[in-house]
A and B are shown apart, each in its own frame.
Chain A
Amino acid sequence: MANVALSEAEKTFILHGVEEDFRCDGRSRRDYRPMELECEIVNNASGSARLRLANTDILVGVKCEIDTPTSLHPDQGKIEFFVDCSANATPEFEGRGGEELALELADTLTNAYESPSAFDLKSLCILPGQHCWKLYVDILILECGGNLFDAVSLASKAAIFNTRIPKVTAAVMDAGEAELLISDDPYNCTRIEIDNIPILVTVCKIGDCCVVDPSAEEEQCSTASLVVGVSKRNNKCYVSHTHTVGGGSLHKDTMYKCLNLGVTAGATLNDALEKALRLEESRVGNKRKETVGFLK
């Protein structure tokens, strides 16, 4: 991750701020930084979103392709996460420099989406045992300003919400092999249910307190953090994934505290995201804002 050089005094300053529940940018321990989200940025993808959380900039493109289901799960589609750390973010990512971080992010997302109640792979199946959709969720990290996990998961969820999978209108059976006719009408499409899709919340332990949405500077002051995947179902929150990040260790009690904070923060964040997405979706005609992308 982008390394910020901090002196001892600066670290102490951040630490004291967190202890008094008044962080450097004026937030409390459970506040997020403002974010901007925009969907449909890339025309070549089936769905796309760009999220900017303070200085963290994430671009996600979703592409769907037809694939054959695995013999183990003939009635399920596939989803694959691919993260690319662009050298635009920091020169350290040049060449293969960002691969380790990219793998960590992709694996975390894969794990969080693994449970059938978090993401329903069955909805991606076309013909059991023969054809299914494979979703490629390609994540591009353009700038690192701390809290990558949360930003990446939010952007992915938004991009999946934006994804339009063309309807398969008819299948012609030809000698036992099904041949699919895929609709090329852009409005004749199915959408993906996002209600249960998990988001990730990073809870960062700084001193004796836990904060959400750490900035790059705060990440430097922390020895250990916990990433919690929060998935909602029937208005209840479930933890779909969790893992610790960083070299330090957490006490058992602290970890429960972190988990609790992560789940409450995740629930609020999830509601806010879904509300924003649906509001944007309901705007049609003149009320719809023009896509600004990076020109803003």
Chain B
Amino acid sequence: MSNFDLLSEQGLRLDGRRPHELRRIKCKLGVFEQPDGSAYLEQGNTKVLAAVYGPHQAQNKKMDINEVVINCQYSMATFSTAERKKRPRGDRKSQEITLYLRQALRAAIKTELYPRSQIDVYVEVMQADGANYAVALNAATLALVDAGICLKEYVVACTASLSKNNIPLTDVSNHEEISGGPTLTVASLPTSNKIAFMEMTQRFHLDNLPKVIEQALAGCREIQAIMETAVRKHLMQMGSAGDWSNIAK
């Protein structure tokens, strides 16, 4: 498997994409009624649902008098992976992702605006096909927007990998992950060009790392544009009764 290359001689990847291409992204805001904000996002075959509750009064032991407490939970449906999972949450991988989600969201939410409060962000993966963390974070961002929570800007994540002949690849699928390519995950604030979270598996040569990071950031910017279109479309629909759409024109 180690000699296996992620990029064919024709310059195509295992699923037929070119190196810089993302998988198809479809998203929708406000899929549920009961949460304060919710979103559905699918990127290729990775499908994620996110729900946001709050801001509401924080639990006493968690309460912070200066800023908001962000409470996350990442879980995966037992049927989401090719092999059936025994537990939907609580395993190490899920706990790790929960932690990283909170970290990236903290960087984006204007935490000082909601002292003594708590925001719950719940993410449910219904189908996993690579880049789970990135898709979960993007869905969480959309749900936060839907809930009307003040963000500094969109926080968007994207993954990137590197082929044998040092060509960086955007948005790694599960097939490419298990084929043994190194993976870099970056959560960024694309407008101000800041990185909120970064994680990599395996290894990259120091000379190649900037190239891969640049590719992931380019992916983030592309995803941000798609998300922004979705938010605008959602707002048009929401406000159409109040004649917003005409005002926006």
Q: Which residues in B have their C-beta under 8 angstroms from that of A86? A: 75, 88, 122, 124
Interface residue B77 (Cβ < 8 Å from any Cβ of A) = yes
Which residues, 80 to 115 on B, are CB-close (under 8 Å) to A? Answer: 80-82, 84, 88
Q: Which residues in A have their C-beta under 8 angstroms from that of B182? A: none
Alpha-carbon separation in the docked complex, A94 to B80 (Å):
19
Chain A contact patch, size range: 35 or more
Q: Which residues in A have their C-beta under 8 angstroms from that of B27? A: 295
Alpha-carbon separation in the docked complex, A87 to B49 (Å):
11
Q: Which residues in B have their C-beta under 8 angstroms from that of A61? A: 77-80
Interface residue B51 (Cβ < 8 Å from any Cβ of A) = yes
Q: How far is the CB of A48 from chain B (nearest CB, A)?
A: 7
Q: Which residues in A have their C-beta under 8 angstroms from that of B51? A: 87-88
Alpha-carbon separation in the docked complex, A90 to B35 (Å):
8
Q: How far is the CB of A106 from chain B (nearest CB, A)?
A: 12
Inter-subunit contact A88/B84 (CB<8 Å) = no
A55 with B79: in contact, given A44-B128, A88-B49, A294-B40 (CB under 8 Å)?
Answer: no
Interface locus among A140-148, A172-180, A188-196, A258-266: A140-148
Q: How far is the CB of B219 from chain A (nearest CB, A)?
A: 22
Interface residue A186 (Cβ < 8 Å from any Cβ of B) = no
A63 with B124: in contact, given A142-B32, A143-B33 (CB under 8 Å)?
Answer: no
Which residues, 31 to 63 on B, are CB-close (under 8 Å) to A? Answer: 31-35, 38, 40, 42, 45, 47, 49-51, 53
Please tell me which one of the listed residues B26, B53, B73, B84 contacts residue A63 in the complex, with CB atoms under 8 A apart. B84
Number of interface residues of B (CB under 8 A): 35
- The chain A residue sitting closest to B81, CB to CB, is A44
Q: How far is the CB of A72 from chain B (nearest CB, A)?
A: 24
Output the residue of A44, A62, A90 with the most chain B CB within 10 A.
A44
A42 with B80: in contact, given A59-B126, A88-B51 (CB under 8 Å)?
Answer: yes
Q: Which residues in B have their C-beta under 8 angstroms from that of A59? A: 77, 126
Interface residue A57 (Cβ < 8 Å from any Cβ of B) = yes
Interface residue B28 (Cβ < 8 Å from any Cβ of A) = yes
Which residues, 50 to 108 on A, are CB-close (under 8 Å) to B? Answer: 55, 57, 59, 61-63, 65, 82, 84, 86-91, 94-95
Interface residue A293 (Cβ < 8 Å from any Cβ of B) = yes
Interface residue A213 (Cβ < 8 Å from any Cβ of B) = no
Which residues, 1 to 32 on B, are CB-close (under 8 Å) to A? Answer: 26-28, 31-32
Q: Which residues in A have their C-beta under 8 angstroms from that of B42? A: 293, 295
Inter-subunit contact B122/A94 (CB<8 Å) = yes
Inter-subunit contact B34/A136 (CB<8 Å) = no
Interface residue A277 (Cβ < 8 Å from any Cβ of B) = no
Interface residue A209 (Cβ < 8 Å from any Cβ of B) = no
Inter-subunit contact B34/A55 (CB<8 Å) = yes
Q: Which residues in A have their C-beta under 8 angstroms from that of B33? A: 55, 143, 145
9 residue pairs bridging A and B, Cβ less than 8 Å apart? A42-B77, A42-B79, A48-B79, A86-B75, A86-B122, A88-B122, A294-B31, A295-B27, A295-B28
Q: A44-B127, A91-B120, A143-B32 are in contact. List 4 more A-B contacts (CB 8 A).
A: A48-B79, A59-B77, A82-B78, A138-B79
Contacts from A to B (Cβ < 8 Å): 2, 41-45, 48, 55, 57, 59, 61-63, 65, 82, 84, 86-91, 94-95, 136, 138, 140, 142-145, 293-296
